Each structure stands twice: as structure tokens, then as C-alpha cells.
């Protein structure tokens, strides 16, 4: 009852305050309208995308019996169907991992036999069931002949949902933090200007909680009043977005309610922070502040007016006099403006990634009849080091590729070309993989854009590393810095050695990677390499064409390297491992000149050095082998043309025993990514921040000059004409505009770069992709500069115009009254 009574009083008091001083609350209404619009847009897009994504999949992945399927086995024989049917029947009901849903029956191309496309649904944890299915049944099925395994996106739907939810939470957290920051800044400006009221409340017993409750209700009303208009506008925008994409749209009631909850949380956080600082001070400070607010700040400064020119010197002086305020205002407003540019940078970056070509299919090559030697246990243990061991298809393929790609590390390094070992452990690399012959066949594929192939050896697996001039490493590039022979070197082990040929060069050109220098020089000039300039989503090196890097090869005795490898088995810090190698092993360094620098190549935590085939073999001890390639289609391919490509690949799969195709469902996943509209959300968010910047500037300055009215009255009283006051304002306006635009122009690029770098790092860390190269969006940057200049000028001149309009008693004629006085008299 007491609580209810108290709440009633709070509500009454807050409503009264809002009604009485509506203009000062106007900024909160605007900001909360914008923030709630943003919250609601993010949530509405999320809920609608979630629904659309499921709709897409449900329409795409339906078995003949109408049920959803997770896996499709294409081109199976009658025996394979029977085997799978028996497996299905043999499962215990409670331990069932899959259900055979049905089959499409067709004739083979030559019409010799019937073939079956089998549809399978996994039960329980679908990902786990899929893995169990492969482990249990793939071998038995592949023994009966080749077939194509095609997983659907439904298999990873739950994981995708978790990822989407994580992104949503990240987005919302970012918006809540920045929104709370904006409301906090505005609330702090307001409490600072109206702290007298808080001083009175505190004098009569108001503690922090009491002040918080009084203030938070004011903000709650602002949030409640703006909620409905904000969610309406936001839903309208989302509806337009979805309508333009030809998708169905549904208003999310949950999203609207969640918007309100989040905005209430935001105002609570900001009011908490602002009132906390008010309540820490003794009330007398708040009361005295009001008493002196209309006076020139100090007698000393007042006295110094006499020696200054008016209004020029006084104006400049006031900029200095209120330097704390000026710094705080510029700091706050410009932070929002810089975030605007930072977010537009991210939005552009995301859009570039979305527009980049994506592979449609992955083709894996392996030797189908290879049996691993039973005595070679180490090769299994080292399978983890192998980046190429994908083995996505039949069990035999996986085993073969693992063994092919995981030669015994120690033997391989000691003597990879040893004849005896090749007979017992190694297979003939040239006999499989994406060879030149297959490449010629693949070139016939209809609508082909490019085939991207990779042959990679991580430096760490070879106990190798790269050494280069310390000056080429940017801050944060990591690695080990050592000074040897009077030169400062940077050593790095997170390097992949890759092979390069003319086909790969064509692929890089197709994919639009930034290339400086000539990739052909790597093929034609001995001792020349190409390097990437980034990892962890950021540009980490400052390479120049002609720079020299040194590739380390561990020298005899090799036992030292094995000792380090063993002792560092559980150490995760690569730099620590590298340091141990450098301390305990001898290395021979071979110099390579950088002939080309590749930027914007997707990387994770390592960068790459590209060698021609001979150099690659010399460095790694292996010929280049391409076990897996990615197929890209030409731009703007239709669904029909895509089907033709797939059909062509299916045929190729039947012709070549050691080839298996995986559909990457690119069309669907790209459509889903486009519908997520992250780039639109970022842009919207950026625009909101720019508007908040303008609001902060306007509100601050208006309140600031209201407080200084007494000072202007004094100038008028001692003989200054109104034109001088106008000049004073004009001078202030130009100073604010100049400083604002100048500081923004200087700071926005580094701040945007930092934001890009930080987001890139986090994105790579959580397994996403990020373009490493930073491009400052010029138009938003110029808009930011113009906005800062405009805000600085307008926010200063506006109070002058109001001042002039309302009129001072000192520049009114006899008998004239101000509008305010007239209103009071009425």
C-alpha cells in the first residue's frame, strides 16, 4: 500500500515536471523515439527473417512424402536403398537416429538401370545423428557403389539459429550501450542545468534511490509516449523493406513489447548513472550552482574584461573560460558523429562481403582404393594438423585423404623424398587431386566462373617460420621480435605456405582480391613470392613490393625441433612456441622477394605466402596437391543454370571415382544473409547516432546560453549594443563550427579504423568473415564534417535568435514589454 502510494506520488510528480518543462524533455522524446525505432527494427527484422528462413527451407527441402529432410543421397542403387531401409527398420524406436522418408526413382543417363534419390530425416540432435549416421552406415553404402551425399541447410538450422540469436544479442547490446550513453549524456546535461531542484529535494531527505525514482519516472513517461509512434514507424519501414524483396511480413507483437522493455532498461541504466553522480555531491553544491548561474563566472574574469576588446576578445575568452564545458560538449557530440562514420564503415564492409562471389559447390578429390598401413599410428595422430583433410564424403575417402595429407611429420621433414618411405607410407600425389587434366575437363562446365584450388602447408607443421624486417609489422601483428646482427627482426609462425599457378591467379582476379604488384612475377622470376597482408580480419603488415622475407628451414639435427614440439604440445600461445624453436633449433633462412601483395583475401588467424610449384616443393618438401576445390559460377546466374551446373557435376562424379561434390546451398544462404539486412541496420543505427549528435549539441548549447543570459544583460547594461552581442554569438558559432569540424575530420578516420579492426578481430574470433582492408566511406565522412560544422554554428546562433526574439528589457523601448511578460500578464 505504501509502495503504491509512493508510486502514485512519483507518477504525479514526474507528469507535472514533464508538463511544466516540456521543452527540456523534448530531446528525450526525440532520442527515445529514435532508439525505440531502432530496437523495434532490429527485432522485427530478426523475427521476420527467422520465419522467412524457415519458410525458405521448408519449401526447399521437402521429401516426396511432404516431410522435411536433412540429407539426400543421390544416385543410389536398389541395393543401397534396400540396405538403408533395413538399417532404418533395425533401429530401436527410442534410439532412432534417422528415418528414411522416401525416394525419387529415375533412370541412369545410359538407361541401363534405375537409380534412387533417398531422403533422410535425422532424429534428436540432428548434427550428432548425422555424424553417427556417417560413422555407422557410410562405409556399408559406399561399398555398393558411388553415390552423392547432399546435406541440407536444415541440418545446421539450429546452429544457424543460435548464431542469429547471438548476432541479435550483440546488436541489441551495442544499441542499448550506445543508447544508454546517449540518454545518459542528455540526462547529465539536464541534471547539470537543473540541479537546483535536485539540491532542494536532497535538502529535504531525498537519497539516491528517491532521486532515481523521481527521475526515472520522467524518462519512463518519455519512453511510453514515444513507444507506439516508434514501433509503428519502424514496422512500416520493415514492411516496405520486405515488400520490396517480395517477402511476406508479419508484425511482431513480441518484438514491439520487447522494444518497450529494452528501452525501459536503457533509460534505467542512463538515469542511474546520471543521478548517481548528482546524489554523491552535497546538496549545497547544487543550490549554490543555481544562485551563481546567472553571473559572470568570477570577479577575476569579470575584471579582465576591461582589458579585452569587445566582443572579439571577450568571445574568445569565453571559449577559454568555459573550456571544460566546451571540451565535454565536443567530446560527447563528436563521439556520436565518429560512431556514425564507424558504423557506416562496417555497413559498407558487410555489403562488400555480401556482394563478393560465393562458391556454389565444393569438389573433393581422393584415391578411393587406398588402404592405410596398419603400423603407421603417428600418421593418425597428426591428422589434426592437416588443413586439407576435409573428407566430407564416404568413409574410405576420409581415411585416404587423412593419410595422404598426414605423412609422418618427422619423417617428412627429415627426408620427404625418400624412396623407401614413398613405397610404404606415401602415395603418389600426382595420381589424384585436382590435376591439370581434370582442370581441362572442368573448364567445360557450363556457367563456370572459376575453380578455386588450394594447396596449403602451415609453417608450424614444418617447424618453419618467416623472418622479416620489424618495420613491416603493424601494431598488433604479434610474433616474436628479436635483434640479430644489428637488425631488428620480426619472426612469425602463423603462416601458411601455398602454391600459386596461373589458374589460381585467374581465380584471384575473378574473386576481386586487391593485388598490388604482379602475381605472374611469382611464376616467372625465381625467388619471388606473393604475400597476404592480413589476418584476424585486419591488415597487419605494411609490405612493399621488393621487400625481402626469409623462410626458415630447420637445420640438422632435427631432434631439437621434435623435442620442442613434444614439450610445447599443450601450449597454445604460438609466439611462445616460436620462441622455444628459435632458442633451441638451428635454422637456415632463404630470402624471397615480395613480387605481389594480396589484400582482402579471407583469412583467419594466419597469413599466407604463395610460391610457384618448384619453390613450394623446395620449402615444404611436397608437390602442390589440390584435394579440394571450390566452384564459382558466373555472376547473375539463374536457378536453372545453377541446376545445369549441378547436373554436370553429378555426371562428372559418376565418371571419376575419386571425386565427390557437395552442394553449398549458396543461393539460399545468400538470400537468407541478404534478408538479414545487417548493412541496413548498421546504416539506420549510424543515422540515429548522427541525429543524437545533433540533439546533444543543440540541447547543450541552448541550455548553456540560457544560463549566460545574465552575462549578456550585464554587457548591455554597461553600454554594449545588441549588434555586439550578435557578434559575440557569431564568433562563438564560428569557433564551435571550426573546432567541431576540424576535430571530427582529424579523429574520425582513426576511430573508424579502430572500430573496424576491433569488430574484425571479434568476428574472426567467433568464426565469421571480415574484410581486412579498411576503406573510409568518403561521403559519410564529408557528411560528418558538414554536420559538425552545421551543428556547431546553428546550435550557437539559435539561442541568440531566441534571445533576440524574446527581447531583453535593456534593449526594449519605453513601455514595451517582452512576449513572456505579456503572457504572464494575460
Partner 1 sequence: MSKYILEAVDLIRQYKQYDSVVTAVNHVSLKVEDGEFLAIMGTSGSGKSTLLNLLAGLDRPNFGSVTIRGTDITKLSPDKLSRFRGEFTGVVFQKHNLVPQLTALENILVPTIMCNKPDHQFQETLKKLILSLKIGNRLGHLPSELSGGQQQRVAIARALINRPQVLFADEPTGNLDRKNADEVLELLLETRKMLGMTMIMVTHDMAIADKADKIYMMDDGKLYLYKDKQGYYKNTYEVQLQAEQEKNAPKAREPWQG
C-alpha separations of 92 from 87, 139, 352, 409, 435 in Å: 10, 21, 50, 44, 46
* The residue count for the chain: 826
CB of 165 or CB of 323, closer to partner 1? 323
For the CB of residue 33, give the shortest distance to partner 1 in the complex, in Å.
24
CB of 202 or CB of 720, closer to partner 1? 202
For the CB of residue 201, give the shortest distance to partner 1 in the complex, in Å.
6
Q: Which residue in 287, 305, 743, 790 binds partner 1 (CB under 8 A)?
A: 287
CB of 196 or CB of 513, closer to partner 1? 196
| Residues with Cβ within 8 Å of residue 516, at least 6 apart in sequence | 545, 596, 597, 599
Residues 205-264, interacting with partner 1 (CB under 8 A): 205-210
Stretch that binds partner 1, among 8-16, 117-125, 580-588, 752-760 (CB under 8 A): 8-16
How far out from the chain centre does Cα 162 lie? Answer: 16
Q: In the numeric block, which cell numbers belong to residue 593?
A: 622477394
CB of 139 or CB of 196, closer to partner 1? 196
Told to check if 279 binds partner 1 by CB under 8 A, we report yes
Query: How many Cα atoms occupy the beta-carbon half-sphere of 672 within 13 Å?
Result: 21
For the CB of residue 296, give the shortest distance to partner 1 in the complex, in Å.
15
Q: Which residue in 5, 423, 444, 826 binds partner 1 (CB under 8 A)?
A: 5
Query: How many Cα atoms occupy the beta-carbon half-sphere of 188 within 13 Å?
Result: 18
Q: Which residue in 203, 302, 502, 584 binds partner 1 (CB under 8 A)?
A: 203
Told to check if 202 binds partner 1 by CB under 8 A, we report yes
CB of 205 or CB of 486, closer to partner 1? 205
Stretch that binds partner 1, among 170-178, 203-211, 382-390, 503-511 (CB under 8 A): 203-211
CB 589 within 8 A of CB 552: yes
User: Site for partner 1 (CB under 8 A): how many residues?
Assistant: 34
Told to check if 775 binds partner 1 by CB under 8 A, we report no
Report the distance separating Cα 498 and Cα 601, nearest Å. Answer: 13
CB of 6 or CB of 381, closer to partner 1? 6
Q: Name residue, grid cell 589460381.
A: 504
Report the distance separating Cα 264 and Cα 248, nearest Å. Answer: 30
Residues 289-328, interacting with partner 1 (CB under 8 A): 291, 300
CB of 211 or CB of 696, closer to partner 1? 211
Stretch that binds partner 1, among 275-283, 421-429, 600-608, 623-631 (CB under 8 A): 275-283
Nearest to 118 by CA among 60, 78, 91: 78
Nearest to 560 by CA among 589, 583, 576, 578: 583
Q: Which residue in 228, 236, 261, 284 binds partner 1 (CB under 8 A)?
A: 284
* DSSP β-ladder status, 548-554 and 466-469: antiparallel
Q: Is 278 exposed, middle or buried (0-12, 13-18, 19+ CB in 10 A)?
A: buried
For the CB of residue 707, give the shortest distance to partner 1 in the complex, in Å.
15
Told to check if 283 binds partner 1 by CB under 8 A, we report yes
For the CB of residue 211, give the shortest distance to partner 1 in the complex, in Å.
9
CB of 199 or CB of 433, closer to partner 1? 199
Stretch that binds partner 1, among 16-24, 313-321, 367-375, 605-613 (CB under 8 A): 16-24
For the CB of residue 10, give the shortest distance to partner 1 in the complex, in Å.
8
For the CB of residue 9, give the shortest distance to partner 1 in the complex, in Å.
5
3-state secondary structure of 316: helix
Stretch that binds partner 1, among 68-76, 279-287, 572-580, 658-666 (CB under 8 A): 279-287
Report the distance separating Cα 356 and Cα 618, nearest Å. Answer: 34
Told to check if 412 binds partner 1 by CB under 8 A, we report no
Told to check if 196 binds partner 1 by CB under 8 A, we report yes
| Residues with Cβ within 8 Å of residue 789, at least 6 apart in sequence | 737, 738, 740, 741
Report the distance separating Cα 633 and Cα 447, nearest Å. Answer: 6
Name the E strands within 533-580. 534-535, 538-539, 548-554
Stretch that binds partner 1, among 4-12, 33-41, 597-605, 633-641 (CB under 8 A): 4-12
Told to check if 336 binds partner 1 by CB under 8 A, we report no
Name the E strands within 441-513. 448-453, 456-458, 466-469, 480-484, 487-492, 495-499
Name the E strands within 659-806. 659-663
Told to check if 61 binds partner 1 by CB under 8 A, we report no
Q: Catalog residues that contact partner 1 under the rule CB under 8 A.
A: 2, 5-6, 9, 13, 16-17, 20-21, 196-197, 199-210, 279-285, 287, 291, 300, 824
Amino acid at each position: 500500500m505504501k509502495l503504491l502510494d509512493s508510486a502514485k506520488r512519483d507518477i504525479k510528480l514526474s507528469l507535472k515536471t514533464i508538463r511544466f518543462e516540456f521543452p527540456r524533455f523534448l530531446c528525450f522524446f526525440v532520442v527515445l523515439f529514435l532508439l525505440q525505432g531502432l530496437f523495434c527494427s532490429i527485432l522485427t527484422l530478426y523475427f521476420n527473417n527467422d520465419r522467412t528462413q524457415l519458410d525458405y527451407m521448408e519449401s526447399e527441402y521437402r521429401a516426396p512424402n511432404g516431410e522435411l529432410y536433412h540429407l539426400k543421397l543421390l544416385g543410389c542403387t536398389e541395393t543401397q536403398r534396400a540396405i538403408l531401409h533395413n538399417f532404418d527398420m533395425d533401429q530401436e524406436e527410442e534410439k532412432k537416429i534417422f528415418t528414411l522418408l522416401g525416394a525419387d526413382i529415375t533412370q541412369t543417363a545410359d538407361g541401363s538401370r534405375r537409380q534412387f534419390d533417398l531422403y533422410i530425416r535425422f532424429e534428436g540432435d540432428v548434427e550428432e545423428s548425422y555424424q553417427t549416421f556417417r560413422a555407422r552406415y557410410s562405409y556399408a553404402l559406399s561399398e555398393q557403389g558411388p553415390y552423392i551425399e547432399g546435406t541440407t541447410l536444415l541440418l545446421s538450422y539450429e546452429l544457424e539459429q543460435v548464431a542469429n540469436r547471438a548476432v541479435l544479442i550483440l546488436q541489441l547490446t551495442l544499441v542499448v550501450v550506445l543508447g544508454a550513453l546517449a540518454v545518459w549524456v542528455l540526462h547529465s546535461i539536464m541534471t547539470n542545468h537543473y540541479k537546483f531542484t535536485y539540491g532542494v529535494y536532497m535538502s529535504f531527505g531525498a537519497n539516491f534511490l528517491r532521486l532515481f525514482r523521481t527521475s526515472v519516472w520522467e524518462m519512463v513517461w518519455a519512453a511510453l509516449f514515444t513507444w507506439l509512434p516508434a514501433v509503428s514507424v519502424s514496422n512500416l519501414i520493415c514492411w516496405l523493406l520486405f515488400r520490396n524483396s517480395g517477402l511476406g511480413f508479419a508484425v511482431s507483437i513480441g518484438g514491439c513489447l520487447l522494444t518497450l522493455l529494452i528501452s525501459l532498461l536503457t533509460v534505467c541504466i542512463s538515469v542511474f548513472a546520471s543521478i548517481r553522480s548528482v546524489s554523491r555531491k552535497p546538496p549545497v553544491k547544487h543550490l549554490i550552482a543555481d544562485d551563481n548561474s546567472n553571473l559572470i563566472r568570477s570577479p577575476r574574469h569579470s575584471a579582465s574584461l576591461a582589458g579585452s576588446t569587445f566582443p572579439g576578445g571577450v568571445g574568445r575568452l569565453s571559449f577559454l573560460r568555459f573550456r571544460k564545458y566546451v571540451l565535454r560538449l565536443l567530446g560527447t557530440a563528436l563521439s556520436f558523429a565518429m560512431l556514425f562514420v564507424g558504423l557506416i564503415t562496417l555497413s559498407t564492409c558487410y555489403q562488400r562481403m555480401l556482394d563478393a562471389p560465393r562458391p556454389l559447390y565444393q569438389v573433393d578429390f581422393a584415391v578411393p582404393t587406398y588402404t592405410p598401413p596398419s603400423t603407421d599410428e603417428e600418421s593418425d595422430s597428426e591428422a589434426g594438423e592437416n588443413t586439407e583433410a576435409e573428407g566430407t564424403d564416404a568413409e574410405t575417402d576420409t581415411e585416404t585423404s587423412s593419410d595422404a595429407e598426414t605423412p609422418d611429420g618427422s619423417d617428412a621433414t627429415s627426408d620427404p623424398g625418400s624412396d623407401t618411405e614413398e613405397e610404404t607410407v606415401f602415395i603418389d600425389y600426382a595420381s589424384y587431386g585436382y590435376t591439370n587434366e581434370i582442370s581441362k575437363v572442368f573448364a567445360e562446365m557450363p556457367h563456370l566462373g572459376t575453380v578455386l584450388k588450394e594447396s596449403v602447408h602451415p609453417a608450424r607443421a614444418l617447424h618453419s617460420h618467416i623472418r622479416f624486417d620489424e618495420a613491416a609489422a603493424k601494431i598488433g601483428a604479434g610474433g616474436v621480435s628479436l635483434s640479430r646482427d644489428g637488425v631488428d627482426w620480426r619472426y612469425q609462425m602463423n603462416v601458411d605456405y601455398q602454391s600459386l599457378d596461373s589458374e589460381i591467379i585467374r581465380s584471384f582476379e575473378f574473386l576481386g582480391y586487391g593485388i598490388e604488384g604482379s602475381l605472374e612475377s611469382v611464376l616467372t622470376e625465381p625467388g619471388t613470392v606473393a604475400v597476404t597482408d592480413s589476418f584476424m580480419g585486419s591488415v597487419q603488415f605494411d609490405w612493399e613490393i621488393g621487400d625481402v622475407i626469409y623462410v626458415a628451414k630447420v637445420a640438422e639435427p632435427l631432434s631439437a625441433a621434435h623435442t620442442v614440439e613434444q614439450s610445447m604440445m599443450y601450449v597454445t600461445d604460438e609466439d611462445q612456441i616460436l620462441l622455444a624453436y628459435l632458442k633451441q633449433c638451428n635454422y637456415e633462412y632463404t630470402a624471397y622477394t615480395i613480387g605481389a601483395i594480396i589484400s582482402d583475401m579471407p583469412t583467419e588467424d594466419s597469413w599466407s605466402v604463395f610460391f610457384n610449384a618448384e619453390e613450394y616443393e623446395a620449402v615444404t618438401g611436397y608437390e602442390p596437391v589440390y584435394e579440394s576445390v571450390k566452384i564459382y559460377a558466373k555472376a547473375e546466374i539463374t536457378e536453372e543454370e545453377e541446376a545445369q551446373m549441378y547436373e554436370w557435376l553429378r555426371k562428372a562424379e559418376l565418371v571419376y571415382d575419386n571425386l565427390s561434390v557437395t552442394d553449398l546451398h549458396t543461393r539460399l544462404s545468400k538470400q537468407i544473409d541478404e534478408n538479414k539486412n545487417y548493412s541496413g541496420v548498421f546504416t539506420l543505427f549510424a543515422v540515429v547516432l548522427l541525429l543524437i549528435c545533433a540533439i546533444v549539441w543543440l540541447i547543450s548549447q541552448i541550455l548553456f546560453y540560457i544560463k549566460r543570459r545574465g552575462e549578456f544583460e550585464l554587457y548591455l547594461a554597461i553600454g554594449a549594443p545588441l549588434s555586439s552581442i550578435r557578434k559575440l554569438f557569431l564568433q562563438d558559432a564560428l569557433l564551435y563550427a571550426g573546432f567541431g569540424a576540424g576535430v571530427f575530420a582529424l579523429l574520425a578516420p582513426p576511430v573508424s579504423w579502430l572500430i573496424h579492426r576491433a569488430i574484425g578481430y571479434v568476428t574472426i574470433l567467433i568464426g565469421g568473415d571480415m574484410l581486412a582492408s579498411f576503406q573510409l566511406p568518403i561521403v559519410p565522412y564529408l557528411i560528418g564534417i558538414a554536420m559538425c560544422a552545421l551543428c556547431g554554428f546553428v546550435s550557437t546562433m539559435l539561442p541568440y535568435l531566441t534571445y533576440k526574439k524574446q527581447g531583453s528589457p535593456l534593449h526594449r523601448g519605453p513601455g514595451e514589454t517582452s512576449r513572456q511578460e505579456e503572457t504572464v500578464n494575460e
